[in-house]
Every structure is written in C-alpha cells, then in structure tokens.
Structure 1
Amino acid sequence: MLELTDVSAGYGETAVLADVSLWVPPRSVVALLGANGAGKTTLLRVASGLLKPSAGRMSLDGTDVTGKAPHVLANRGVCHVPEGRGIFPTLTVRDNLIIQAGDGNADDAVERAVSAFPILGEKLSQLAGSLSGGQQQMLSLSRAYVTDPSYVLLDEVSMGLAPVVVDEIFESLATLAAQGRALLLVEQYVTRALDLADYVYLLARGRIEFAGEPGELDAERLMARYMGGTHA
C-alpha cells in the first residue's frame, strides 16, 4: 500500500496541502478529484518524491519513505506520469523509451511500449517533439509499461486531447489496472475517472473533503460544487 498520513506540503511560505491522509491499496484504482488549485499535482509530487512534505508521513508497502528521493521511490515501484507530457522532445521516440527503461533491457522496453501503443512502432526514428499531442502523451504514458511499476501516479493524462485519443488513453489505463498496477489518477473527466476507480478522494483547498467509493458520489453535483471542468 502507498500511504500518506497527515501530510502537509507547499512551496516556500505557501502552504498547499494540510493534514492530508490518502491510501492507495495494491492493484486498485484511486481517483483524486478536485478543482484547479486544490493541490492535486502537489500531492502527486509528494507521493513520487519530487517534493518533500513539511509534516506527516509517507510509507510504501509498510516501509517509511518520507522525504526519500524520486529515484529511490522509482526503484521501489513508483512511476509518475506528470502533467504536460514529460518527454525529451529533441530525442527520438526510441531513445525516449530507452531512457524510460533505465537499467532495463532496451529492446524489451520498446516492445512493451509498442505493444501498448502500436502507433509508436511506426514513429521510433522520429523526434518525439514532432509527434502529435496524443502520440506524445502515449510516449509519456509508456513509462508505466516499460518500468514494470507497482504504483502509477497519473496527472491529467487526457488534458488537451481529442476525444478519440482520450478513449485510447483510458483503454490503456484500464489495461494497466488489469495487469495489477495500482493507479492514483488525477483526471478532469470526472465520470470516466469514477467509472474506472475503486476508491475516490475529493481534495478541496488542500484538504480531503471526501473519501469513499465512487457510487457514493453524484458526478453532476460534484462538478457543480467543486470541479468547474468536464464530466464526460
């Protein structure tokens, strides 16, 4: 289990999260919902080690990993797919996949990525920055396939994509879940997130205001009160 207990965090003098507790059980999908500025990205940055909490505790499979560096958490099975398509635009698709694989087998990494996203197989020699937005997102999401993680943190992976590409992205997320990965999903498409999730947390102004199962939430009321985004 990935567990955050009474975590507070922010940037300099700016507090963003206050006493946040959240659990991601193995092989589950947890949706983290909230309006822009609620602190969702900050929470994912804490969970992947990119930001050290100012208070609280984080544990991974029973081990205290509070304040551990990102590479330590990555080696323990945490994969962070950030908002904004975290790729190397001046490198080829193949080189991006090899970098994502780290110390893993390069050919195996390419094979896994292409199996998940066949279009990338046609673009291996192409510069990543010249791909379409949807293809760049697929390349970014490939790290969740090539590194064989236990926990995948996903920050708005459907943002700015055409509906047909969003469908592909959500199919890939369902595949990751079916393969036994635990997903912590920050997502603007509320209904889609709730359909995929086993559990849901609602974050508002840096605090958890709801934790439970998706069936306990009304998506329309959630959108009207907290989200200000898209529920399709």
Structure 2
Amino acid sequence: MFVLAMLILACAIDAVTINGDLEIEGIATCVEFNSNSIETDGSISIDSSLIADSVSATFMSAQSLTVNTITSHTGTVTIEGNINLSPLTTATFIQKTWTLAHSYLLDTTFKTWTGADIGLCGEQRLIRPQCQKQDVFREFMLGKHRFLRVQGGISFVGNWQGEFARIKADGKVVWSRRGYGNSEFGPCGRLIPFDIVIPHTAEEVSLIFETDLKNEDCMTRFSVSEVNLLIKE
C-alpha cells in the first residue's frame, strides 16, 4: 500500500481522492473528500453532508443524519433534540419482537465454521481462526425476516497493536474495531462485546469474522464466542 504523509498548516482544494494514508496537522478545507476510512483523535467538522456506509463516533452532533441502522456498543443510544421517523416502519419495528434463529448454546460441534479451530478458555468455548489464517466463515439459514441482529463477543488474544477486526454479513462490513491487548488480559484475551442490527431480507446469511493481523507465530489472534442470531419481521 502506498503511504502518503503530508504536513499541512492549511489547504483549500476542490476534491481529493486518496488510495493510501493521509496525515494532516492543521486544517484541511475540501468541497469533497472520498476515503474508505477516516480516523481522528480530535474533531471533524462538516458543513454540508456526510455520506457513509458506517460511522463510528464517541460523540456526534448533526443537523441532519440519514442512516439505515443506529446501534451502540454500550446498549444505549442518546438523542438530544427532535427525531423524525417513518410511522409505519417505526411502529412495525418496535412492536414486533426478536426471534432467535441461532443460539450458541445449541451449537455443540462448531464444525460448520470454515477455517476455525475450536478451543476452551475456562468454561468458555471459543471459535478462532486456524494458525496463520485471518478469518472464520459460516452460513446460516434464517427464514423470513426484515432485520437481522448478531450478538456475541470478540476477544483480542496476544499482542495487538491497533490492527482491525471486522465482521462481514454477505460480504459487507457491519462492525469493525481496532484491537489492543497484551499479556495483562490473560490467556483468554480482551473481550469486546458486539450487538449489531442491520436491514436484511435474504433467507440465509454468510458471516465472516476477519482481521488484517499479520500472525506469524500464531500467538496473537482473535477468538469469537457466544454468537447468537436473531431475526425480526
């Protein structure tokens, strides 16, 4: 990957498309900015509109926000101000309950996970990629539905230094997180729970858990536990 690093006090440009990395110290003013991923330790101010497949932020303030799904890693979503929702879609989503389509408690063999080793940490059964592999994969039959919810946990085992772990549903990224961990978290690693809700209508779904970790010694990898799939009409 080509890495582009720039030290800029201020820039004003019509449009910029970057295939590598862009590092800016100062202010960048753009009419249009296209990027696969934007990360900042400070703040991003957008006067017009932001269009993205996925937006993750500790705090967000917006005059107008258009999204398919709003989820929270803590389980709580706080909105200050007015919220306008489609009455039919809102009523249908809130009134109908979730149906359990797959439970890890009933999954006794785990053999249907492609590329996976099955291990134990204490009493916890873990799904993890085979040595020097970066992903595990499985297809699930769901039945008729309009929304899919995926719950579980990913543990970062070993020496993670900010590499990404991702969850894909039917080839699309629905969750991602940088991994940080070391021996202080013990042999089971640092557990990060996930609870994802996405619009979904196909009667089956393929789930991929993957990472860009370069695992040469097989001591640093991720594991997945307690995967539940729920559906809703």
Q: Answer yes or no: same fold by TM over 0.5.
A: no
Q: State the TM-score, normalizing by the size of structure 1.
A: 0.26
Higher strand share: 2
Q: Which one has a bigger Cα radius of gyration?
A: 2
Higher helix share: 1
Q: State the TM-score, normalizing by the size of structure 2.
A: 0.25
